[in-house]
Structure 1
Amino acid sequence: MDKLDFPESPLHTIHAPELDAAGVSLRIKRDDLLHPTIQGNKWRKLKYNLRAMKQEHKSALLTFAGPFSNHLYATAMACKQFGIQGNAIIRGPQLDLNNPTIRFAKACGMTLHPVSRLEYRQRNETDYLRQLQSRFPDTFIIPEGGSNQHALGGCKELAQSLPSSDYVCCAVGSGGTLAGMIDGLDDECQLLGVAVLKGAQYLHDEVLRLNPRAVTRSNWQLLHDYHDGGYGKFSAPLWQFCQRMRQEHALPLEPIYTGKLMFALWQLITQGYFPRGSQIIAIHSGGLQGLDGLRYRQLI
């Protein structure tokens, strides 16, 4: 087996009275179980970035992240596991060395470079990236969240790994997971993306930028009414729902990505959005390390 391949993650069937009443079936693709730390969509996106890095004979990588980022967490362990020199530009201006995500990244041997919020805003600008490339020669640069052309292949594989269904649903932050999955699903299967950011209508154009083929596909859409206040924000009912899913269905969720996805799905199911007989698969994209950051900030 290629060392950049992990065994495929399992499907978890949910049984609940709400599903019976709506006449639908729901399975969860447990991508949070792909790997203890390099899990979910973060691994799917990293996989082909790491292959591209190898093909370009680069010895180090550089990426961008907020201080509690799932992408930072997964990339740090990937660098440790595969013997890669890792660098990350961190939205600062200071590093909080007690933050569990920062502590983990440093423990994995990653070099962290805190910058001001003003500088961090330049992370996608060509001139800034050119400066970084000269400052970090022989380094492969991966964007924030890992969403780029290389990421699409791993997300396409995720879609191809699924059994046939009527609907596949995923949380959407940067658009990369959705953009890649579009290529891996049959036209008959509807792909629903639940935006976790407020006012994120721009994500439609971002999906088309990442995957121009998406313009020819009519089987995907973004839902914008389930952000629960905006990125990183969540209500008491959402957090209570996450706890209930863990207790009743042994399904661990965090309220920033997967919790919003499942809460949205539960509302749509009980409102009769899905025709009776529909088979639904929801993608658990990992990110459970985020719970440690929420506890650290005393938000849960």
Structure 2
Amino acid sequence: MQVPSPLTELRDERLGDVRLWLKRDDLISPDIPGNKWRKLKYNLVTAREQAHHTLLTFGGAYSNHIRATAAAGARFGFDTIGVIRGEEHRPLNDSLAQAVRNGMRLSYLDRSAYRRKTSSAVLEALAAEFGDFYLLPEGGTNSLALKGCRELPAEITVDFDVLCCACGTGGTLAGLAAGLRPGQRALGFAALKGGDFLVADVRRLQTEAFGAATDNWSIDVDSHFGGYARHTPELDAFIADFRRRHDISLDRVYVAKMLHGVFAHVRSGHFPAGTTIVAVVTG
């Protein structure tokens, strides 16, 4: 595991007098990258302290969280169970196949049952089938996950004004903002359409994890490019151009949308000249 993750300055004439650093959390581990490791870290510690031997979690068929949980289980000696939304399809896609290679047992819930996955009836049925397990929420976001994400700002060795990240559940943003020093702010970029609900979710997550919500963060809900996992020719062109300029391939579900949004805010003057930004490359 490469922690702290590398911090590199991005040289790009489009930034003008704004400085942009990349916090390369995608390089923490090829199998458990970025916020996936930070969210899992203290959950794994707690599972061990509670003498659990099995991790059970939920996700879609292409879930990075499912794949990362399987890899973490293989690395740290836990059995893993992935409860997948929808019907089983063969052959397995690359993501699920990798999870299976790391020892994960897959189970499937139809979409109706999956919507009730946290109900006592569904959890009791899973316990009857699989026995005792440590439950990780879908996406890995809980109070322990926020504790792991809160550690990231302290790893940054340059003075900065704004810390940017992509937002799915809001857990990463909630944790990062809690770790900032006075005067620093966090800016999240929602990867899904209609992300206004994330504001309430981030406040709730911070309150549950730390006792109170902070006021040092905000969310851009307009950089989603049509919705979760959607993309447009404009986003595809940005990704290709970024690869040519900087030899970095961006994940188009989360990171590309976030960085496109950062450059858009620079162009609009949202970030004044002299601002130093750190953008978290989560994977």
Provide the TM-score with structure 2 as the length reference: 0.94
Q: Quick one: distance in 2 between partners of 1:161 and 1:47? A: 16
Written as runs of structure 1 = structure 2, the 5 A alignment for 1:49-198 is: 49-163=43-157, 164-198=159-193
The answer on whether the counterparts of 2:39 and 2:140 sit within 8 Å (CA) in structure 1 is: yes
Structure 1 segments of 4 or more deviating over 2 A? 95-98, 123-138, 213-217
The answer on whether the counterparts of 1:96 and 1:102 sit within 8 Å (CA) in structure 2 is: no
Q: Match of 2:33? A: 39
Question: What amino acid sits opposite 2:23 in the alignment?
Answer: K
Q: Match of 1:14? A: 10
The answer on whether the counterparts of 1:94 and 1:114 sit within 8 Å (CA) in structure 2 is: yes
Q: Quick one: distance in 1 between partners of 2:211 and 2:277? A: 21
The aligned length equals 280
Q: Match of 2:206? A: 211
Q: Match of 1:293? A: none
Identity of aligned residues (%): 39
Q: Match of 2:276? A: 279
CA drift of 1:150 comes to 1.0
Question: What amino acid sits opposite 2:223 in the alignment?
Answer: Y
Provide the TM-score with structure 1 as the length reference: 0.89
Specify the SS of the correspondent of 2:151.
Answer: helix
CA drift of 1:144 comes to 0.6
Q: Match of 1:270? A: 267
Range with greater deviation from structure 2 (206-215 or 83-92) = 206-215
The answer on whether the counterparts of 2:2 and 2:27 sit within 8 Å (CA) in structure 1 is: no
Specify the SS of the correspondent of 2:150.
Answer: helix
Pair 1:241–1:146, CA change in 2 (3 A) = same
In structure 2, stretches of 5+ residues that fail to align are none
The answer on whether the counterparts of 2:152 and 2:176 sit within 8 Å (CA) in structure 1 is: yes
1:223 aligns with 2:220: yes
RMSD, aligned α-carbons? 1.5
In structure 1, stretches of 5+ residues that fail to align are 287-300
Cα deviation digits, residues 113-135 of structure 1 (max 9, x gap): 02211111112334433443444
Question: What amino acid sits opposite 1:186 in the alignment?
Answer: R
The answer on whether the counterparts of 1:153 and 1:180 sit within 8 Å (CA) in structure 2 is: yes
Cα deviation digits, residues 6-40 of structure 1 (max 9, x gap): 431101211111112xx100000000000121110
Question: What amino acid sits opposite 2:278 in the alignment?
Answer: I
The answer on whether the counterparts of 1:64 and 1:144 sit within 8 Å (CA) in structure 2 is: yes
The answer on whether the counterparts of 2:225 and 2:232 sit within 8 Å (CA) in structure 1 is: yes
Q: Quick one: distance in 1 between partners of 2:77 and 2:246? A: 37
